[in-house]
Homo-oligomer: A and B are copies of this chain.
Amino acid sequence: MANTRAQEIAEHLRKNILSGTYLPGSRLHEETLAEETGVSRTPIRAALRLMDAERLVNYFPNKGYVVREYSPDQIRAAYQTRAVLEGLACRQAVERGLSNSFKNSLKKCITEIDVMLKKGSLHKDNVLQWRHWNAQFHNQIIEASGNESLAAAINLVTRIPMVSNSIIVWSTFDVVANFHEHHRQIHDLLCRGLAGRAEFAMREHVEQGGDFIVSKLMEAESSG
């Protein structure tokens, strides 16, 4: 895993763009980044090109790179796209046949969150954990589909500056509990081999996630 500098820089940029350290619309100045990270412009430029291909920044030839901005409509559209893709992941995972180790591994994602929710509220410290097990749940299904193109497409579509990693919006307990029920249902449908129902349950799950995020963003926009 001894990567090249450019890849480390790419990881650095990805993280800071997704988390909002580099805000949407802000310019990414090559020399500044080079000084910040202690390398020359060469690997910086290589990393920036990757960010462009990953749709995290906009590239304007001879002008530079700007962190990509998403309107609420665009975010909604991205979630709708993700919804059909993750639905497909469920269907193909079933069609391919689920191993017992997969079923157990997926079950763990649910029981871990069970523990957190048992208290009736979600502690600040648990949010990171919740994000971990939530991501695990989704990623394991995607991997179980055995469809590389699908995985790549989902990656492309889910990484949105300042949204993907936004922690705050998920703090509403009721919503988290509701999504947790979705996961439980999806797990059940998968294990019972009900490919079609699992597909659409996942679709709806992701669509609701998108609805929630967009509504939260609109809220924040109008108030602050």
Contact = CB atoms under 8 A, between A and B. Distances in A.
Given A3-B61, A4-B62, A61-B4, A81 B50 contact: no
A77 B157 contact: no
A58 to B, nearest CB: 12
Interface residues of A, number: 33
Nearest to A7: B61
B92 A88 contact: no
Contacts of A147: 77, 80-81
A78 B149 contact: yes
Interface of A: 2-4, 7, 45-46, 49-50, 52-55, 61-62, 74, 77-78, 80-81, 84-85, 87-88, 92, 146-150, 152-153, 156-157
20 contacts: A4-B61, A4-B62, A46-B46, A50-B52, A53-B54, A55-B152, A74-B149, A77-B146, A77-B148, A80-B88, A80-B92, A81-B88, A81-B147, A81-B150, A85-B85, A150-B157, A152-B156, A153-B153, A153-B156, A156-B156
